A = this chain, B = another copy of it.
Amino acid sequence: MSKDRLILVCNDDGVTAPGIQALTEVAKDFGKVVVVAPDKPQSGMGHAITINATLRIHEHVSGDDNVQIFSTSGTPVDCIKLAVNEILDRKPDLVISGINHGSNASVNVIYSGTMSAAMEGCLEHIPSIGFSLEDFSIDADFSTSQLVAKKVIHQVLENGLENGVCLNVNIPKADASTFAGIKVCRQADANWEEEFEKRTDPHGRNYYWLTGKFVNRDEGTDTDVWALKNNFASVVPVQYDLTAHSTLAQLSTYEFNS
């Protein structure tokens, strides 16, 4: 344990969520912890940033000398930017985000504020990891997640992470007796099938609620969705270079300049 190590903790469920408290407990074993998280739930915010509004920072009482807690009025990505530029006096050694209430496997990585916070840490060249538990319940049991977080953080601090790469770690709803272990995976090619629920307001006008069903169209056994289904925790290396490099050559044959 090094008290000189500085660990930044964020999430998208908000500073009061049980998941971030579970992750803070784990982080304390690895160094000094600073929590900077949204002051309200920010699920599904993706990589949104606040350009057209002001941002506030509020310090909370933590009751632990080794932990500082701040909330901000911004998105998860705003939290990382505010932490690195305004709150912390030096670059953190690690960014961890979560533990998210609900899976961020497969394409959820794109919608997830929790993973965007990790991605933002990665953009700042800080080793960064997002953790998510496949259980939306406010009473979810985070003990398996804490065990996984401890192991993954330890390995990342030991071995580092390649530049431009962060980790998307998803944990199944499994206890000590059913948990199958940790598996390195690729992102499954799955997607949401939306079903908007149309309602009429008291003034006779229509409005919509976004709902949907997660549909896996990927039959691979090397994916994060497969891992979770088989009681493994999945570890997917995630990059912010979105270039489809394998398509560059084919695309160069298009006659854009004719």
Contacts and interface: CB of A to CB of B under 8 A. Distances in A.
Given A111-B47, A242-B187, A151 B256 contact: yes
Contacts of A1: none
A49 B50 contact: no
Interface string A28-71: 00000000000001011111111110111100000000000000
Contact of A235 (B119, B236, B256): B256
A48 B48 contact: yes
A107 B86 contact: no
Given A86-B196, A151-B257, A195-B85, A51 B47 contact: no
A162 interface: yes
25 contacts: A45-B46, A46-B47, A48-B111, A49-B210, A56-B205, A56-B207, A81-B196, A81-B210, A84-B194, A86-B198, A151-B257, A152-B256, A162-B250, A164-B244, A165-B244, A184-B248, A186-B248, A236-B242, A236-B243, A237-B243, A237-B244, A237-B247, A238-B243, A240-B242, A242-B242
